[in-house]
């Protein structure tokens, strides 16, 4: 019985990795807001297009962050840990315009 549980767990991990679930639940939205203001807000709204959580739906944020290599700003992120990118995603997603608590200002 215990062996079946371990096999099921390991199989689940491989399936999650195979589907590229890099931005699964669990990011820290509060930290993401801080990181967004620190790394993103300095350009977006100034020299780049205005961007805040409420500019997109949750589905749109998921689509954007499903392949971060396609995000134009990605070239500026190499030194940023994946956990920080996940926190920024969580902030943007959790306060998207169709979320239960959309952002009113960033």
Q: What is the CATH number of the domain that holds 72?
A: 1.10.760
Say if 101 falls within a structural domain: no
- Residue 84 corresponds to which tokens in the numbers above? 């920080």
pLDDT of 11 above 70? no
Say if 35 falls within a structural domain: yes
Say if 64 falls within a structural domain: yes
CB 51 within 8 A of CB 40: yes
Say if 72 falls within a structural domain: yes
Q: What share of the chain is helix, strand, coil (3-state, %, to 5)?
A: 60, 0, 40
Say if 99 falls within a structural domain: no
State which residues form the domain around 81.
2-94
pLDDT for residue 74: 82
Q: Give per-residue pLDDT as tens, 19-54.
A: 333 444 689 999 999 999 988 888 887 777 788 899
CA 64 to chain centre: 9
pTM: 0.71
Q: Give the mean pLDDT of 71-86.
A: 85
Say if 10 falls within a structural domain: yes
Burial (CB count <10 Å: 0-12, 13-18, 19+), residue 54? middle
Percent of the chain with pLDDT over 90: 40
What is the SS3 assignment for 44? strand
CB 52 within 8 A of CB 106: yes
What is the SS3 assignment for 97? coil
- Give the count of domains, the chain: 1
Say if 100 falls within a structural domain: no
Say if 102 falls within a structural domain: no
């Amino acid at each position: 019985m215990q062996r079946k549980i371990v096999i099921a767990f390991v199989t689940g991990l491989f399936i999650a990795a195979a589907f590229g679930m890099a931005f699964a639940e669990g990011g820290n939205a509060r930290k993401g807001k801080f990181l967004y203001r620190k790394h993103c807000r300095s350009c977006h709204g100034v020299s780049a297009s205005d961007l805040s959580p409420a500019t997109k739906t949750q589905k749109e944020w998921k689509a954007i962050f499903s392949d971060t290599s396609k995000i134009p700003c990605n070239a500026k992120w190499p030194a940023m840990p994946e956990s920080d990118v996940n926190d920024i995603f969580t902030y943007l997603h959790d306060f998207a315009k169709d979320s239960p608590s959309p952002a009113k200002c960033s």
